[in-house]
Structures are given as C-alpha cells and as structure tokens.
C-alpha cells in the first residue's frame, strides 16, 4: 500500500497527500464540484468532513446527548459542528490553555480541557462516550482513555510517525475500544 502522505511512489517520488496537484482515484469514490464559486472552501471541508464525520457515523458517536471529545484544536477541530449537529456535547482537549476562547466562543464547543492540568482531567474522568484524536504528534494516550465512559471509543484520526504507547489494561477494564 502507498500512503497518500509521507510515502514514496513506485518510481521513487514522494507522495504529497492534500498538497498534490493531481491524484488518481476510483470514480465511484469521487464527487464533482463546480470550479466556482466555492472551490477554495470545498477541499478543507471535504477533507475534514471525511476525517471527522465518517468516524462519528461509523463508531456510533452520532446520537443526541452523547459527549464527544476532540483532541487538538487545529483545522479538523474547526468542524466540531458535525458532532454538535448530531446533538452531542463537545469538549475540546488541548495542551494550550490559550485556545480556550477560540474553542468555546468561535467554534461553539461546550467545554475545554487542558490535557496537562490534572484537576481538569480528573473532573472529566469517565464522562465521554467517544474521543476523536486528530493529533499527528506523539502524545500520551492513557489520560484520554481515562476520560472515556465504559464502552467508550477512542478514534485515532491523526497519524504520528513514531509509535504511540498504548496501555492495554485500561482498555480491558473499561471495555473501551
């Protein structure tokens, strides 16, 4: 398999993912969009849409009243409106306390957690039905597992190049996936 980002084609040239000038895809998986008036805004919405909307649907995190965490306030977190549109409570989880205003006031998230603040993380333990983790850097997963309810789902959509440490015992004890 050749990954669309961070990989090498058979001819030795690098793959550029979303930064490519062209791509080859099965026409059954493509949608046609007019070049105008919204071509500049279509690509980010489609990319974020498939990365966030699809896991919400696939893992059953699309029910009203669910509590969904979104790890990392980047481009993908800007479409937390998908979870909000399903009637979910959305909490953004970030390492940067300076992003709280943006998460709540600009993006409409219901709550904000600073992942390295033990009191905040402790208060949120066992409250989330699912977490969409979009961080592409190595980061601790264990604190996120603690935020999940029993049967909670941690969905990784970021792709760190280095392996993450995944403690199995908390998954087993909470029947988490």
Is residue 34 scored above 90 in pLDDT? no
pLDDT on residue 17? 66
- Which parts of 4-151 fold into alpha helices (H)? 39-48, 54-58, 81-85, 100-101, 118-123, 142-147
pLDDT tens profile 48-107: 667 777 888 889 998 999 999 999 887 666 666 678 888 999 999 999 999 999 889 988
Asked if 68 and 128 touch (Cβ cutoff 8 Å), the reply is: yes
d(CA 129, CA 153): 7
132 phi and psi, to 5 degrees?
A: -100, 115
Distance in Å from the first CA to the final CA of the chain: 25
pLDDT on residue 69? 94
pLDDT on residue 167? 81
Outline where DSSP puts E strands in the chain. 5-8, 14-16, 67-71, 89-94, 111-114, 128-133, 148-156
pLDDT tens profile 96-145: 999 999 889 988 899 999 999 999 999 999 999 999 998 888 889 999 99
- Polymer length in residues for the chain: 177
* Residue 105 to residues 53, 69, 71, 100, Cα–Cα distance (Å): 22, 17, 17, 8
pTM, whole model, 2 decimals? 0.76
Among 36-50, 119-133, 156-170, which is the least confidently predicted range? Answer: 36-50
The tokens describing 99, both together, are: 């992003």
- Rg, C-alpha atoms of the chain: 18
Q: 3-class SS at 173?
A: helix
pLDDT on residue 112? 95
pLDDT on residue 40? 60
């Amino acid at each position: 398999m050749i990954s669309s980002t961070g990989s090498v084609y058979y001819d030795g040239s690098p793959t550029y993912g979303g930064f490519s000038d062209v791509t080859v895809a099965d026409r059954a998986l493509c949608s046609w969009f007019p070049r105008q008036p919204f071509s500049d805004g279509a690509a980010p919405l489609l990319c974020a849409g498939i990365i966030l909307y699809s896991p919400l649907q696939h893992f059953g995190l699309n029910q009203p009243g669910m509590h969904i965490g979104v790890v990392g306030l980047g481009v993908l977190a800007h479409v937390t409106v998908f979870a909000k549109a399903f009637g979910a409570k959305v909490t953004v989880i970030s390492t940067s306390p300076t992003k709280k205003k943006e998460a709540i006031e600009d993006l409409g998230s219901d709550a904000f957690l600073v992942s390295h603040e033990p009191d905040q993380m402790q208060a949120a333990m066992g409250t989330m039905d699912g977490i969409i983790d979009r961080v592409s850097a190595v980061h601790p997963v264990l604190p996120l597992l603690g935020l999940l309810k029993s049967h909670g789902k941690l969905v990784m959509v970021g792709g760190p190049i280095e392996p993450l440490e995944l403690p199995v015992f908390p998954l087993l004890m909470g029947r988490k996936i």
